[in-house]
Structure 1
């Protein structure tokens, strides 16, 4: 049995565990990412991170995108799944249509949206101008007051397919006799949902919220393609901040420290949220 597990275990150790330990080691150095040598500086990188306004801006953006996308995607996906579950015809067609955005990589999707939102020739502003609403045309990716919300919208548009199908699969596994019994007792559609359906899909809510939160914490492709963290540092997320300081500014030690912080944030937030939702499952 060990012989079957050993190859995968070795690959996992070499590709995940060893680099993770090395990241922790480099976070205590002043390595620039290029030089052969470096000096240990202890927790100086972590102290610099705590004092960095740019880092806390990235933390704020990550929280907005992570929690925002998780909540919005789950609400919309659940509503769409409920609609699909009620369909009697062409359910497969609509299910495929809902899932299609998930087949496109975040990088490609962001590239498409970058052209659509271009201020000068993008389709969004062009349509607004043709409709006689030129004052509504905006520099969607260059306006610091709205750029983060634009990225949030694009992120939600990308993540919904898998979430919807998970909800739909769970909705179709809810025993119909329970729903029929509730209706016979005079329960309204809303009462049936909150007292029968909602508790039965609690496991799906936990899975989808956890996956969406993890995806939100490590948003990178959208920021890289759409804004490169701009204007200025306004739209940087923690993942992009790590990339920028580590590879763009040649502060690999500082970037490694930020990566360790991100890892801790992801683990703590995910475990806490998962524990809360598991507790809700039991209560339900």
Structure 2
């Protein structure tokens, strides 16, 4: 009798596991249909002369890859994207970490400042792009108007129209929108630091800067890794603000990898070449992400 009950229990457990697997099927199907299948199509179209409209395309082998490297387009886009990513990663993480450390202390209106810092992340990229286009506008824009009030020449202020400043101008917009997210992640990491460890450091004579540098930062090293890697991936996929605010200009100064793919695919109507461009971009992003993970993981501290 006892054996029968045990067998029944085992069947119930097996049925429960099967039901759990059944709940995974919709998510797995979505993943296969909307991620794996398009990815395979991307590799397939990269070796054809498909134009995105006419399906009477031909196999061209590696001609698309040779073409994008021959004219230097991809190397220029990679350079622009790496500069953009470097600026956004460094600034968003420094600003996010500094704010997280400040807002993790006992200050008045802490909840308000946390909410206000995260508020820009709630806006869509289109809204943010249009807002900052006005802020950067020469003559009548917000910054230009302030310059005029101070007696300067606001008409000469045009960062989006300057070849040397346009990329950094849109990178600052990315930082403004994204630093709140990094701040929240850092704040969550800081709140896991054991207060008794900090108190022991204070007893040993450490000031707050020493506690932050020698105790808090090593103990949230995994959080730093997460934020840096996410920021790198986000920076390498940059497209929104170069499209909304500068349309890749002036010249080619803000034509990131993703913008170049968009232009080749939908402006030039060379979907096959755009697919080849995407394959190379995918490989570059994966390679950089893996290198960053290895580099950051070596510096993590086991707590």
TM-score relative to the length of structure 2? 0.90
The unaligned stretches of length 5 or more in structure 2 are 1-19
Deviations 1:64-103 (A, max 9, x none): 1112211111011101111111133321111100000010
Secondary structure class of the residue paired with 1:89:
coil
From 138, 147, 164, give the equivalent of 1:119. 138
Q: Which residue of 1 aligns with 2:15?
A: none
From 260, 273, 296, give the equivalent of 1:254. 273
Secondary structure class of the residue paired with 2:55:
coil
Does residue 277 of structure 1 match 2:296? yes
From 178, 182, 200, give the equivalent of 1:159. 178
Q: Which residue of 1 aligns with 2:225?
A: 206
From 250, 253, 259, give the equivalent of 1:240. 259
Query: Within 1, Cα distance between the matches of 2:41 and 2:212?
Result: 49
> Which range moves more in the overlay, 183-192 or 55-64?
183-192
Query: Within 1, Cα distance between the matches of 2:250 and 2:72?
Result: 16
1:124 is displaced (CA, Å) by 1.5
Q: Which residue of 2 aligns with 1:75?
A: 94
Change beyond 3 A, Cα 1:283–1:7: closer
Q: Aligned pair count?
A: 284
Query: Within 1, Cα distance between the matches of 2:87 and 2:162?
Result: 20
Deviations 1:159-213 (A, max 9, x none): 1111001111111221111111111111232221222111111011011001111
Query: Within 2, Cα distance between the matches of 1:180 and 1:233?
Result: 54
1:40 is displaced (CA, Å) by 1.1
Alpha-carbon contact 1:54-1:233 (below 8 Å) kept:
no
Does residue 137 of structure 1 match 2:181? no
Deviations 1:22-78 (A, max 9, x none): 011101111111112111111111111222223222111100111221111101110
1:283 is displaced (CA, Å) by 6.7
Alpha-carbon contact 1:57-1:234 (below 8 Å) kept:
no
From 23, 40, 44, give the equivalent of 2:59. 40
Query: Within 2, Cα distance between the matches of 1:53 and 1:129?
Result: 42
Query: Within 2, Cα distance between the matches of 1:186 and 1:44?
Result: 66
Query: Within 1, Cα distance between the matches of 2:188 and 2:53?
Result: 49
TM-score relative to the length of structure 1? 0.96
Query: Within 1, Cα distance between the matches of 2:280 and 2:40?
Result: 14
1:135 is displaced (CA, Å) by 6.6
The unaligned stretches of length 5 or more in structure 1 are none
Deviations 1:196-235 (A, max 9, x none): 1111110110110011111101111111100110112221
Does residue 179 of structure 1 match 2:198? yes
Does residue 266 of structure 1 match 2:285? yes
Q: For CA contacts below 8 A with separation 6 or more, give which structure has more relative contact order.
A: 1
Secondary structure class of the residue paired with 2:178:
helix
From 21, 35, 41, give the equivalent of 1:22. 41
RMSD: 1.5
Does residue 217 of structure 1 match 2:267? no
Alpha-carbon contact 2:138-2:154 (below 8 Å) kept:
no
For the pair shown, which has the larger CA radius of gyration, 1 or 2?
2
Does residue 62 of structure 1 match 2:65? no
